[in-house]
Amino acid sequence: MPDAIKSVDQDEGNFNLFANPGLNNEVARALRAISRVACANATKVYLVGGTVREIVSNPAEITTSPDITVIGDAATFTDALTANIPDCELIATSQHHTAKVKINNVLIDIASARTDTYDPLGSLPQITLVDDIELDLTRRDFTINAMAILLNPDGDSTLIDPFNGKHDTRNRVLRAIKPESFQEDPLRMMRGIRLAARYGYRFDHRTQSLISQALDDLHRMTQHSPQRVFNEFKLWFASHENLDEIIKLASRHVLLKSLGINTDFNSSSFNRIPADEPDLTRFAAFAYLLPPENSSSLTKRLVMPSDWTEISKDVAKARSVAQRCRHDQITDIELYRLLINLQPNVIRSIIHIEHDNPIRTRFQDFQTRLRHIKSQLNGDDLIALGVKQGPMIGNLLDELLTLLIEGNTSTVEEERQHILNRLNDG
């Protein structure tokens, strides 16, 4: 066993997991059911990850979904859960000895205890199953994520804390477990930034130095495993994350540059985006604040999926419209034509984060008024009035829309009269 591993954290003493006031009753019932199945099958299972971290920090409410590590095969144990817990549903399994189940409304990730070997560094890990939870904890990224609690049906528990993660959790410190942590998996730096931003943690000096030493490894990873980098990158934009702080920390620790983003962020605009907005709205805001060349190159570098790529393209179009709103007199009909085919996420993102009042006002006007304007007559109505089928129908409908937006017509009778006048004019 590595020298860094210590015995069970004795000063924590015994406590009853299921009596924790911050633990949701539904989660407590699910964990108790799991522990009963484990006991009946003579299997050791441990609560790990974010839930343990929250238990240690004593919040009023524990919000993270439970992660379970099992000594043995995760798939076999999952079969036992679904067979013995009436409300247990299998959601997914993977070849990496992991599974996801749902007990009532509680989602639970299950993984086999294991060690990981990275050969070469930065590659996907080679997995070896182990029968020792402390060996499993050595593969984790930060000390705050390297704690475990053995599940017992009666709830009697002791914290297993080989790296003094409890101390770091309570002092809000992110400390890498081993010197090669970020070289093994550069994505740990990106996860660390996310954790630091969400919970107000800081990196200790040694970990800051390790990040600086591994920046080139992250850059290389964007070249040979761009989709893995994107899968971590996109988590920055989830609604529960502190995107403002993430971007500031990523800029301060030079992670943005390693991702190919050559700019510094000091903006506090992202916190103006409502919590109910989807991740693509947040990404649109981020892309809008980037230098134009960075936005387009980033989507290519990380091989982003089509929905993210299209957002970036629409942001580029919206940015040029914003510049016209700032410097030119742009008519309502021009604004309508330039913005109507852009994704709503992009329009909303600019309204949320744009500090320039003329731009924000015009985009808000489009969002609340212009985009809803439409002719009361349709193509069939025009045919009924005597318009021949063909391009003329589209041209006349466009004329009606222009008249409506410019305020030169407002009723269906006025629209009909305009069409009749055009027909009479030949």
Tell me the DSSP string of 24-84.
-HHHHHHHHHHHHHHHHTT--EEEETHHHHHHHH--SS--SPPEEEESS-HHHHHHHHHHH
Residues 211 and 343 in one domain: no
Based on the number of CB atoms within 10 Å of its own CB, is 313 exposed (0-12), middle (13-18) or buried (19 or more)?
middle
Residues 281 and 349 in one domain: yes
Whether residues 160 and 180 fall in one domain: no
Q: Where are the alpha helices (DSSP H) in 290-388?
A: 292-301, 306-327, 332-339, 344-353, 357-368, 379-384
| Both tokens assigned to 178 | 């081993």
Domain end (from 170, 199, 221)? 170
Residues 91, 158, single domain; the answer is yes
Q: Output the six-digit token pair for 412.
A: 């269906």
Residues 276 and 357 in one domain: yes
- Please tell me whether residues 40 and 153 are part of one structural domain: yes
Give yes or no: residues 17 and 102 share one domain: yes
**Enclosing domain of residue 282:** 267-372
Could you tell me if 311 and 343 are in contact, meaning their C-beta atoms sit under 8 angstroms apart?
yes
Q: Do 283 and 198 fall into the same domain?
A: no
Mean pLDDT score, 378-399: 93
Q: Are residues 53 and 15 in the same domain?
A: yes
Query: Which CATH number fits the domain that encloses residue 141?
Result: 3.30.460.10
pTM for the model: 0.87
Looking at the fold, whether 302 and 332 belong to one and the same domain comes out as yes
- pLDDT bracket for residue 267 (50, 70, 90): low
- Among 259, 278, 294, give the residue marking a domain's end: 259
Report the 10 Å Cβ neighbour count for 253: 19
Taking only the tens place, the pLDDT of each residue in 45-86 is 999 999 999 999 888 888 889 999 999 999 999 999 999 999
pLDDT at 11 over 80: no
Structural domain ending residue among the three candidates 170, 190, 214: 170
Domain count, the chain: 4
Q: What is the per-residue pLDDT for 426?
A: 65
Q: Which amino acid is at 61?
A: E
Angstrom distance (rounded) from CA 15 to CA 33: 19
Do 47 and 69 lie in a common domain?
A: yes
User: What band does 350 get if pLDDT is binned at 50, 70 and 90?
Assistant: very high
* CATH assignment of the domain containing 220: 1.10.3090.10
Q: What is the DSSP letter of 176?
A: B
Task: Round to whole Å and give the CA distance between 20 and 175.
Answer: 26
In this structure, the answer to whether residues 161 and 16 fall within a common structural domain is yes
Q: What is the DSSP string of 277-308?
A: S-HHHHHHHHHHHS-HHHHHHHHHHTT--HHH
The dihedral built from the CA positions of residue 152, 158, 164 and 165, taken in this order, carries a sign that is positive
Output the six-digit token pair for 186. 């550069």
